[in-house]
A = this chain, B = another copy of it.
Amino acid sequence: MISISKRAQAIQPFHVMKLLARAKELEAQGKHIIHMEVGEPDFNTPQPIVDAGMTAIRKGDVHYTAPMGLPALRKAIAQFYLQQFQLTISPERIVVTPGASGALLLALAAIVEAGQSVIMADPGYPCNRNFVSLLEGQNQLVNVDADTQFQLNKALVEQHWRENTAAVLLASPSNPTGTIIAEKTLNEIIGFVEQKQAAVLVDEIYQGLVYDTLPYTALSLSNNIFIINSFSKYFSMTGWRIGWLVVPEAFIPVVDNLAQNIFLAAPTPAQHAALAAFNPETIEILEQRRREFKQRRDFLLKALPKLGFTIPVKPDGAFYIYVNCEALTDNSFQFAEQCLEQAGVAITPGIDFGNNKAEKYIRFAYTTSLDNLKKAIERLEQFISDFGK
């Protein structure tokens, strides 16, 4: 028998995968399932992006690009920072990556030495930890709650700082909570970490999906941080696998080398398609969708508390609501299982985002139509009134 590496053994499958498999079985039996577990927009890729991708493919533009990406796309992303945030970011600092996954791996590989630790919030996006483990780094999960908007702050970072901490990873808006980190808090963290000569990484993949404020980038505060972004969520390009990374000036050569070696380059059709992502015509489509996401969020923010869920913090963005379900159950995974079986509503249990009181939390994704959400709430009402009887 060939040994399986410890790091591979340590990775847990997402619990929601088990629910998804069961949902498929139920669907195969003809049962109607409302999917509120999926971290993927229900919208198709906007037509201008699709058209740009198809044109490139038709023209045979499907060869390797440079490892850092198409120069035109790196320029377009720089232009996006200028237009949206009045920031001048050199295209040289922008790396086009195969999704945010590629960006995270690249950034962490450039920063984290074996044995060094990365501070991140719990609850948080679970893959982050596994990138750190892949590089033989250590995860320092820091429990966060409603008191800090489920975000880290300087006091928490300082309190958990170790001699060997290499980086702090933030996400704003966050998955699963949808909260954004306050500019002041972010600035304080950056100041502290810079003084420690360590790195701040900010995952901004839900940047464009905010509902009560304007989009924001941590690049406004410092050029000496790493920004992870993606065309998947706001731009509805999930399966194309394309994102980007902004690095400090000094990291350009090493990140170029790493990109060449780790993934060669992001998919070429996706890069050409993404050239149309910032067109006014595309943005108009995306802004319409953003307004629809807001409607869905606002509907759930009213409906879920009536069912007995507590919403500890109003989510600012993304397409998730992270609810406390302890008034209804002390086992959110079991609750999710039964909810699927009996109500035909698929949701994600807290355990998929960490260990911090995970059994008391559930994530609702509003990546399905308002009609479906309304149906889901009706079904949940019935289910909850039967639950535990």
**CB of A98 within 8 Å of the partner chain:** yes
**CB of A18 within 8 Å of the partner chain:** no
Kindly specify which of A55-63, A88-96, A149-157, A332-340 makes contact with the partner chain: A55-63
Q: Which residues of the partner chain B approach A131 to less than 8 Å between Cβ atoms?
A: 261-262
Q: Which residues of the partner chain B approach A170 to less than 8 Å between Cβ atoms?
A: none
- In the complex the two chains form, what is the Cα distance from A206 to B187 in whole Å? 51
Contact, CB under 8 Å: A40 / B63: yes
Known: A113-B6, A134-B135, A254-B4. A267 touches B264 (CB 8 A): no
Interface centre among A2, A7, A265 (most CB of B within 10 A): A2
Known: A3-B197, A45-B62. A263 touches B110 (CB 8 A): no
Kindly specify which of A9-17, A178-186, A291-299, A357-365 makes contact with the partner chain: A9-17
Q: Which residues of the partner chain B approach A270 to less than 8 Å between Cβ atoms?
A: 267, 269
C-beta contact mask, A81-116 vs B, less than 8 Å → 1, else 0?
000000000000000001101100100011111100
Q: Which of A116-143 contact B (CB under 8 A)?
A: 126-127, 130-131, 134-136
Contact, CB under 8 Å: B269 / A53: yes
Q: Which of A191-212 contact B (CB under 8 A)?
A: 197-199
**CB of A372 within 8 Å of the partner chain:** no
Q: Which residues of the partner chain B approach A9 to less than 8 Å between Cβ atoms?
A: 254
Q: Which of A145-167 contact B (CB under 8 A)?
A: 166
**CB of A248 within 8 Å of the partner chain:** yes
Q: Which residues of the partner chain B approach A251 to less than 8 Å between Cβ atoms?
A: 2, 4
User: Nearest B residue to A198 by beta-carbon distance?
Assistant: B2
C-beta contact mask, A204-224 vs B, less than 8 Å → 1, else 0?
000000000000000000001
- In the complex the two chains form, what is the Cα distance from A254 to B12 in whole Å? 9
Q: Which residues of the partner chain B approach A255 to less than 8 Å between Cβ atoms?
A: 8
- In the complex the two chains form, what is the Cα distance from A61 to B239 in whole Å? 8
User: Nearest B residue to A126 by beta-carbon distance?
Assistant: B261
Q: Which of B64, B109, B197 contacts A5 (CB 8 A)?
A: B109
Contact, CB under 8 Å: B250 / A2: yes
Contact, CB under 8 Å: A8 / B110: yes
**CB of A23 within 8 Å of the partner chain:** no
Contacts A2-B199, A13-B253, A241-B267 given; 4 further ones with Cβ under 8 A? A40-B64, A44-B62, A127-B261, A134-B135
Q: Which 5 A-B pairs have the closest CB atoms?
A: A239-B268, A130-B261, A136-B136, A44-B60, A8-B254
Sample 15 A-B pairs with CB under 8 A, ordered by A number.
Answer: A2-B251, A8-B258, A54-B54, A62-B239, A62-B240, A63-B238, A65-B239, A98-B263, A109-B134, A126-B261, A130-B261, A239-B265, A240-B269, A267-B267, A269-B270
Interface residues of A (CB under 8 A from B): 1-9, 11-14, 17, 40, 44-45, 50, 53-54, 57-58, 60-65, 98-99, 101-102, 105, 109-114, 126-127, 130-131, 134-136, 166, 197-199, 224, 237-241, 248, 250-251, 253-258, 260-270
